[in-house]
């Protein structure tokens, strides 16, 4: 009943045809960018470049203008990738990459057969546990529950300083905390493995995992703009990261429909809306790469802006806006407090969300480099890391929620129009 009431409210405040157009186009964008053709929009088979070209074509279709006769702002970044062989077998049982196991982003590759050393956590003594780790050979791989290990800090630290070529940390299912890329590589292969498919009393493990460190991968932000009708030197900046986790091995890909094809879909819907309804202030549409590598694209843009940063009126960042939360999750810089107050009033007056969860400003998405410069910057999300599909191969178009995207679109356009 709650969802029915929300839809009725939405249709009253937002004409049905316009709502359908926003929804249909958002679904189209998410379906396109989460397709296998884009290889998870990572740094494999130039998945990021294919996505950037698609976004640039959409900018052109919506009548945006270019800076310096191109949609692209090029830069390079270091990335550690896992694009080759990816095989893990325990006591003859083949584990599925991306589902049964993942690697830490800074892991090295590994090949060979090893003995599994399972840490005894029932009669555990930290000093003796560290001593046993010190006596492991290069052919033994320590295996331990990660939550248990983290409770014993010195032991946990020593897990990564043994003679072993690898370390296995046991997690619950799903393995949704996989990170995509690292700018460094450590000597060990650090494996996160789920309990649910692990053989009882495992003895041996066969590994064949490739990594490839790319020191200077060439990638790009995608920039376009609309000139304001009255105040062209004042800028509203919309941003969303278009990169995702890419491939894990040759066969497993991460679609990233919610994270963050949904944010790109919101940005492109706003581009289409403001081309049809010319804004008084200029508007910049900035889709960045490198977010999953540590906000590399947004950091690069802030260092190399295409117009003076001090001309920015507000930055609105959209990240995972198709997760279906009833509450709107927001972060904002101190300078954006008035903007937050105005948006909150609209959301409250129109009953757009069940609530607004305001959190402390943190460096986890692309508003943060702008906020660090003292600019008014805001972050919007309708999801979190608790989403069961977050950073898994199941973040696909079947698991996105459209109703809240429409509510967010309505809130933002009412605020800016």
DSSP 97: B
Residue 323 has pLDDT above 50, yes or no: yes
User: Residue ranges of the domains in the chain?
Assistant: 2-79+215-416, 85-209
Task: Give pTM, 2 decimals.
Answer: 0.93
Contact 325, 382 (CB under 8 A): yes
pLDDT in tens, 86-96: 999 999 999 99
pLDDT value of residue 11: 52
pLDDT value of residue 4: 47
Residue 68 has pLDDT above 50, yes or no: yes
Burial 42-63 (b: 16+ CB within 10 A, else e): bbbebbbbbbbebbbebbeebe
**Tokens 């927001």 found at:** 330
**Poorest-pLDDT segment among 90-94, 106-110, 176-180, 372-376:** 176-180
In CATH terms, is domain 2-79+215-416 a member of 3.40.630.10? yes
pLDDT in tens, 146-171: 999 999 999 999 999 899 999 999 98
Cβ neighbourhood burial of 280 (10 Å; 0-12, 13-18, 19+): middle
Cα–Cα distance between 237 and 377 in angstroms, integer? 9
Query: How many Å from the N-terminal Cα to the C-terminal Cα in the chain?
Result: 31
Q: Which pair of structure tokens corresponds to residue 150? A: 């983290």
pLDDT in tens, 328-366: 999 999 999 999 999 999 999 989 999 999 999 999 999
The full DSSP string for 26-85 is HHHHHHHHTSGGGGGGSSSTTHHHHHHHHHHHHHHHTT-B-BTTBSEEEEEEEEEE--S-
Fold of the domain spanning 85-209? Glucose Oxidase; domain 1 (3.50.30)
Residue 312 has pLDDT above 60, yes or no: yes
Residue 316 has pLDDT above 60, yes or no: yes
The runs of H, that is alpha helices, within 201-295 are 262-276
pLDDT in tens, 14-28: 565 577 889 999 999
Q: Which pair of structure tokens corresponds to residue 254? A: 């991460």
Phi first, then psi: what are they for 280, rounded to 5°? -75, -40
Nearest to 224 by CA among 369, 73, 103: 73
Task: Kindly report the average pLDDT of the chain as a whole number.
Answer: 93
């Amino acid at each position: 009943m709650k969802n029915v009431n929300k839809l009725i409210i939405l249709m009253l405040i937002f004409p049905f045809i316009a709502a359908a157009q926003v929804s249909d186009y958002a679904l189209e964008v998410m379906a396109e960018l989460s397709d296998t053709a884009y290889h998870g929009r990572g740094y494999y088979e130039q998945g990021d470049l294919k996505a950037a070209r698609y976004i640039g074509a959409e900018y052109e279709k919506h009548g945006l203008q270019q800076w310096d006769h191109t949609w692209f702002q090029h830069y390079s970044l270091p990335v550690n990738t896992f694009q080759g062989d990816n095989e893990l077998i325990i006591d003859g049982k083949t584990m599925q990459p991306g589902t049964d196991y993942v690697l830490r982003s800074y892991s090295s590759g590994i090949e060979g057969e090893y003995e599994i050393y399972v840490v005894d956590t029932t009669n555990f003594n930290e000093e003796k546990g560290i001593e046993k780790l010190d006596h492991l050979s290069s052919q033994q791989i320590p295996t331990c529950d990660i939550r248990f290990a983290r409770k014993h800090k010195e032991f946990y630290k020593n897990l990564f300083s043994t003679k072993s070529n690898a370390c296995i940390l046991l997690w619950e299912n799903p393995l949704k905390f996989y990170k995509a890329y690292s700018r460094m590589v450590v000597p060990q292969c650090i494996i996160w493995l789920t309990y649910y498919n692990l053989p009882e009393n495992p003895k041996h493990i066969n590994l064949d995992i490739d990594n490839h460190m790319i020191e200077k991968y060439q990638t790009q932000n995608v920039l376009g703009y609309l000139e304001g009708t009255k105040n062209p030197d004042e800028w509203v900046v919309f941003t969303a990261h278009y990169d995702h986790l890419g491939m894990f091995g040759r066969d497993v890909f991460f679609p990233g429909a919610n994270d963050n094809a949904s944010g790109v879909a919101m940005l492109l819907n706003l581009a289409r809306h403001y081309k049809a309804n010319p804004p008084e202030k200029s508007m910049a549409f900035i889709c960045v790469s490198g977010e999953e590598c540590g906000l590399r694209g947004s950091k690069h843009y802030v260092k190399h802006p295409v117009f003076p940063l001090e001309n920015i009126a507000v930055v609105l960042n959209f990240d995972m806006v198709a997760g279906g939360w009833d509450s709107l999750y927001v972060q904002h810089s101190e300078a954006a407090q008035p903007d937050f107050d105005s948006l909150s009033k609209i959301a409250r007056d129109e009953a757009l969300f069940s609530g607004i969860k305001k959190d402390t400003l943190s460096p986890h998405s692309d508003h943060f480099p702008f906020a660090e410069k003292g600019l008014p910057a805001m972050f919007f999300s309708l999801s979190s890391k608790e989403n069961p599909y977050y950073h898994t191969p199941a973040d696909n178009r079947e698991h996105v929620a459209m109703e809240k995207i429409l509510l967010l679109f309505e809130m933002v356009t009412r605020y800016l129009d």
